[in-house]
Amino acid sequence: MATVYLDGNFLDDSEAKVSIHDRGFLFGDAVYEVVPVYRGNPFRLARHLDRLRESLAAVAIDCPLGDGEWATIIARLLAEAHGHEYSVYIQVTRGVGVGRDATRTQGLRPTVLVSISPVSIDRTLLASGIRAALLEDIRWHHCRIKATALLGNVLLRREALQRGAAEALLIRDGELTEGSSSNVFAVLDGVLRTAPPDERILRGITREVIIELACACGIDVREQAVSAAQLASVQELFICSSVREVVPVIQIDANAVGDARPGPVTRRIMQEFAALKARFKGDS
C-alpha cells in the first residue's frame, strides 16, 4: 500500500478513485511526467516541471498547480522514501467530462494524480548491454508531448519483447529518432549523434543531461539523427531515460553494434552520469 495525492487529498492508493467519466480514462486526454528520485530528492525537478507545463500548454490544459505546490506534494510523498530509488509519476487529465461527449471541455477542472513507485528494474544488469529491435514508428506526430495515450509505445514495446529485445528503436522518415520509452544516442565516425528535438521525439531530460556531460568532457555531440542506412556503420549506441538512465545497446535485431560490447564513449557517459548522480546524492 502506498500513499498517493489525488485532487487535493493524500490517500491510500486502494482508496484513490477516478470517475469513469474522466477524460483521461475515456479519451487518453491527459499528460504526465516521470521524475527520478535519488536518496529522497527529485533529480532535475525544475526541468521536469517545465516539460510538464509545456505538455499541458500544447494540449490547452491549464497547469493546475505552481512549482512550489508540486514540490510540496512530492516531498510529502517522499518523506519516508530515503533508502531506495523511486520514480515520481505526475498525471494531469483534462478532468471529468459529460458522458462521452468529447467536445464539451469548457469549465472542466483537471484531475491531478501524483504517485511514487520504487524503481523495479536492475540497472546493473542492463549495464552490460541490451538487444533492441528496429521498428517503424507507428505513433502520432506530436511525440514532443508527454501524453498518457501510450498505445503506440505499448504496441512497439510488446513487438520488441516478442522479438527477444528489451527496447524498440524507432525509424521515422528513414531516420532513427528515439526508443519506445527512451531517447537514443549513436556514435558514428567519432561523433555522438542524437535526433534533433523536433516533434518526432520526446525532449528527454536524461538526453539533455547527457548532452551537457558529453560537452563538458570534450565529446563532439551533434543533434542530427543517423539514418537507417547509416545504422550498419554505427560504432556504439545507447538509450537513456529517467527510469533506465544510460543503457548500452549491443545488438539491433540480428546485427551486432560495434564489437557487441559497450564502447568507450558509452562507458564514459555512463561513468559521468554515475558521478553526477553520486554528487547529487552527496556521496562525493
What residues contact residue 273 under an 8 Å CB cut-off, 6+ apart?
Answer: 209, 210, 213, 245, 246
146 assigned to active site: yes
Identify residue 162 by its one-letter amino acid code: Q
The stretch near ligand PDD (CB under 6 A) out of 116-124, 215-223, 237-245, 251-259 is: 237-245
Q: Does 55 bind ligand PDD (CB under 6 A)?
A: no
What is the rounded CA–CA span in Å between residue 93 and residue 109? 9
Q: Does 114 bind ligand PDD (CB under 6 A)?
A: no
Q: Which of 88, 176, 202, 265 binds ligand PDD (CB under 6 A)?
A: 202
Which among 17, 146, 277, 281 is annotated as catalytic? 146
CA count, 13 A, side-chain hemisphere, 136: 3
What residues contact residue 84 under an 8 Å CB cut-off, 6+ apart?
Answer: 118, 119
Q: Which of 43, 241, 263, 270 binds ligand PDD (CB under 6 A)?
A: 241
Least distance in Å: CB of 259 to ligand PDD? 27
Region 14-43 residues binding ligand PDD, contact defined as CB under 6 A: 34
Cα separation values, 253 from 192, 231, 233, 236, Å: 22, 12, 15, 15
Q: Does 205 bind ligand PDD (CB under 6 A)?
A: yes
Coil, strand or helix at 205: helix
The stretch near ligand PDD (CB under 6 A) out of 3-11, 105-113, 197-205, 265-273 is: 197-205
Region 130-169 residues binding ligand PDD, contact defined as CB under 6 A: 153
Q: Which of 115, 177, 206, 266 binds ligand PDD (CB under 6 A)?
A: 206
* Structural contact between residues 250 and 131, judged by C-beta atoms closer than 8 angstroms: yes
Q: Does 91 bind ligand PDD (CB under 6 A)?
A: no
What is the rounded CA–CA span in Å between residue 16 and residue 111? 12
Residues in contact with ligand PDD by the rule CB under 6 A: 34, 153, 178, 181-183, 202, 204-207, 240-243
- The residues annotated as belonging to the active site are 146
